[in-house]
């Protein structure tokens, strides 16, 4: 029933709501699929089948689950009693097309593109920020394609999304625990393991917590020219977001400030404007006048 939407290249998300209604997202928000729906029992059965196919369990004792089905598909499901209205299923579909700077629709791209490519050629370590859907992942993939052809790129992600047009890419993906609670491979562990793989550039799809400490150490000990992304609604929010991630990573405020300033050469923030073009702001992490982390915006 849902396969036609999963296979549709325009669809990025498929949702089954507690009411049994089905909706899809083609980039303009969730839109209901008219004439198609599931009964409460069918929705719960579907949720269980999807989660079990990813090697996890979904029942009253474990009413929440998240699995990676491979081929760029990730499923999250919630069933009663947690989901009060019925099974809530979310399928995220990532289309692994090669990223390019042209697809970003950057405002003032003729001026910015040579600058951005120059950052890669000069082996600047990049922190790329923005809200959900702002184009962070696309920008990372597009920029890293300009790394030297003889360089070894090691890409680490929670869910494989990055697709880099480069001849030497090693892609590693996290793994959730199995039914017995064993076998989990975290992003922090992947960062540590990757350093034994002789990477010329280390790329972490998104930092969300403890892996930040390991990535900072990697950048500070000679692994320059890599990149990572974090969520931030504006460039002014970046210090607060890093502070929250630093706390999850067990870093003191002083450690976070000193290490991030020295680890990241450039901050690149993306926002989508009312004109549907992506606006790019560049800056550097600096020590603020009060001794805390700050961002210096550059023209």
Q: What is the pLDDT of residues 18-33, one digit of tens each?
A: 888 999 988 777 888 8
Cβ pair 31, 11 in contact under 8 A: no
Has residue 98 got a pLDDT over 80?
Answer: no
Output the CA angle 135-240-247, nearest 5 degrees. 105
What is the predicted pLDDT for the residue at 16?
A: 93
Q: Which residues lie across from 172 on neighbouring strands?
A: 156
The pLDDT assigned to 224 comes to: 94
Give the pLDDT of residue 105: 76
What's the pTM value of the predicted model, to 2 decimals? Answer: 0.82
> Is the pLDDT assigned to residue 287 strictly greater than 90?
yes
Domains of the chain and any CATH numbers:
3-93 (3.30.450.370), 101-298 (3.40.50.300)
Q: Report the percent of the chain where pLDDT is more than 90.
A: 62
Pairing of strands 21-25, 30-37: antiparallel
Look at residue 188 and tell me whether its pLDDT is greater than 90.
yes
Q: In which band, very low, low, confident or very high, does the pLDDT at 73 lie, cut at 50, 70 and 90?
A: confident
d(CA 188, CA 222): 18
Tell me which of 159 and 186 has the higher pLDDT: 186
Closest CA to 163 of 207, 218, 203: 203
CA triple 45-48-53, angle to 5 deg: 125
pLDDT confidence bin for 202, thresholds 50/70/90: very high
Q: What is the pLDDT of residue 96?
A: 62
CA dist list (Å): 244 to 114, 215, 220, 240, 247: 33, 16, 20, 6, 5
> What six digits make up the tokens of 90?
């979310």
**Residue 112: burial class (beta carbons within 10 Å; 0-12, 13-18, 19+):** middle
Q: What are phi and psi of 272, to 5 degrees?
A: -100, 120
pLDDT at 299: 75
Rounded CA-CA distance 29/289 in Å is 41
């Amino acid at each position: 029933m849902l396969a036609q939407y999963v296979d549709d290249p325009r669809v990025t998300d498929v949702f089954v709501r507690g009411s049994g209604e089905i909706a899809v997202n083609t980039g303009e928000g969730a839109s209901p699929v008219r004439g198609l729906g599931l009964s409460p029992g069918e929705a719960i059965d579907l949720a269980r089948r999807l989660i079990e196919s990813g090697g996890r369990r979904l029942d009253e004792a474990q009413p929440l689950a998240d699995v990676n089905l491979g081929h760029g598909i990730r499923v999250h499901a919630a069933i009663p009693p947690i989901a009060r209205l019925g099974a809530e299923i979310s399928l995220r579909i990532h289309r692994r097309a090669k990223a390019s700077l042209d697809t970003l629709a950057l405002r003032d791209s003729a001026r910015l593109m040579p600058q951005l490519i120059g950052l890669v050629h000069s082996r600047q370590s990049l922190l790329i920020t923005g809200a959900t859907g702002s184009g962070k992942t696309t920008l990372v993939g597009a920029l890293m394609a300009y790394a030297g052809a003889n360089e070894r790129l090691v890409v680490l992600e929670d869910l494989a999304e990055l697709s880099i047009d480069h001849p030497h890419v090693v892609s590693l993906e996290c793994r959730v625990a199995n039914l017995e609670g064993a076998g989990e491979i975290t992003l922090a562990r992947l960062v540590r393991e990757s350093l034994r793989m002789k990477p010329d550039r280390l790329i972490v799809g998104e930092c969300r917590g403890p892996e930040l400490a390991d990535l900072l150490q990697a950048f500070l000990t000679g692994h320059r020219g890599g990149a990572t992304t974090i969520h931030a609604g504006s460039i002014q929010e970046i210090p607060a977001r890093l502070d929250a991630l630093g706390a999850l990573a067990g870093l003191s405020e002083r450690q976070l400030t000193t290490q991030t300033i020295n680890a990241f050469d450039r901050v690149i923030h993306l926002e989508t404007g009312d004109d549907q073009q992506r606006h790019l702001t560049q800056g550097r992490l600096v020590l603020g006048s009060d001794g805390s982390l700050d961002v210096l915006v550059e023209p």
